[in-house]
């Protein structure tokens, strides 16, 4: 879950950057979040209901390939896109070999839990991951990324996102193991896109407010 570009940022004639807004930054990455959150899972469920597990897995994989091609044409970070597609390929193969919807659906849940751990660990090692991801949504100047305010803001955000991913994964895994596929998909939606949008809006507002008063270092 790492989409980003800087298309929403308008450049002034002097090549400076306009002041970021919640809406401007949000619309830079939100469409990609919605595409990746809805299309593959929706394609899987449609294929599953129409023709069984294999059809669902193939439909989801095809949806992911289409997203990959679209993102590449838009110039999204090639490494991130390839990693995402690589995971889809592994997930599909494992699901087909195991011939289990539970095994297939559990993989992204476990991956999200791993992301949660990475967010927390990034804070422990002093390199908050949220700051690196935010830089894909807005081109922060280098002096700002090296400031104490930047580290403080994105340390808090990394901990919040880490807690979200870990809590979400625990809930989804419990429903997947002890409930139905339909129930799992409902929980996946409710704990996915709506909460993600709320957290994105909070993250952008928190960062704008937290970094608003940060000044560049004095030059000699």
150: its two tokens: 């930047």
The pLDDT of residue 219 is: 67
Q: For the chain, which residues make up each domain, given as ranges?
A: 22-210
C-alpha pair distances (Å), 207 with each of 51, 86, 118, 158? 46, 32, 20, 12
- pLDDT of 56 reads 86
Nearest to 135 by CA among 77, 201, 67: 77
For 144-161, the pLDDT digits (tens) are 999 999 999 999 999 999
Contact between residue 205 and residue 143 where contact means Cβ atoms under 8 Å apart: no
Q: Which residues contact 91 (CB under 8 A, 6 or more apart)?
A: 104, 107, 108
Handedness of CA 86, 88, 93, 95 (dihedral sign): positive
Q: Which two tokens stand for residue 86?
A: 């690589």
The closest alpha carbon to 137, from 12, 21, 34, belongs to 21
pTM for this predicted structure: 0.73
Q: Which residues contact 31 (CB under 8 A, 6 or more apart)?
A: none
Tell me the pLDDT tens digit for each residue of 45-55. Answer: 788 888 888 89
Mean pLDDT rounded to a whole number for the chain: 80
Q: How far apart are CA 66 and CA 64, in angstroms?
A: 5
* One pLDDT digit (tens) per residue for the chain, 220 residues: 333 333 333 333 333 445 566 666 566 655 666 566 667 877 887 888 888 888 988 988 888 888 778 777 776 654 555 667 778 888 889 888 988 889 999 999 998 999 999 999 999 999 999 998 888 777 888 999 999 999 999 999 999 999 999 999 999 999 999 998 889 988 988 898 788 888 988 998 899 899 988 888 876 5
85-107, pLDDT tens digit by residue?
778 888 889 888 988 889 999 99
């Amino acid at each position: 879950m790492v989409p980003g570009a800087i298309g929403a940022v308008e450049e002034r004639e002097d090549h400076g950057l306009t002041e970021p807004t919640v809406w401007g930054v949000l619309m830079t990455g939100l469409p990609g979040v919605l595409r990746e959150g809805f299309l593959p899972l929706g394609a899987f469920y449609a294929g599953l209901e129409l023709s069984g597990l294999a059809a669902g897995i193939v439909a989801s994989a095809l949806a992911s390939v289409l997203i990959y091609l679209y993102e590449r044409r838009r110039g999204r970070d090639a490494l991130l896109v390839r990693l995402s597609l690589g995971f889809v390929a592994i997930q599909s193969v494992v699901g087909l070999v195991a011939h289990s919807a539970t095994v297939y659906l559990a993989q992204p849940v476990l991956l999200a839990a791993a992301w949660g751990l990475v967010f927390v660990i990034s804070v422990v090692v002093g390199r908050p991951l949220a700051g690196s991801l935010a830089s894909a949504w807005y081109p922060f100047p280098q002096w700002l990324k090296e400031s104490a305010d930047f580290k403080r803001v994105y340390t808090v955000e990394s901990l919040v996102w880490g807690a979200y991913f870990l809590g979400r994964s625990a809930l989804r895994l419990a429903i997947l193991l002890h409930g139905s596929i339909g129930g799992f998909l409902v929980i996946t939606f409710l704990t996915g896109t709506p909460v993600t949008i709320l957290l994105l809006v909070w993250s952008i507002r928190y960062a704008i407010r937290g970094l608003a008063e940060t000044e560049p270092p004095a030059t000699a």
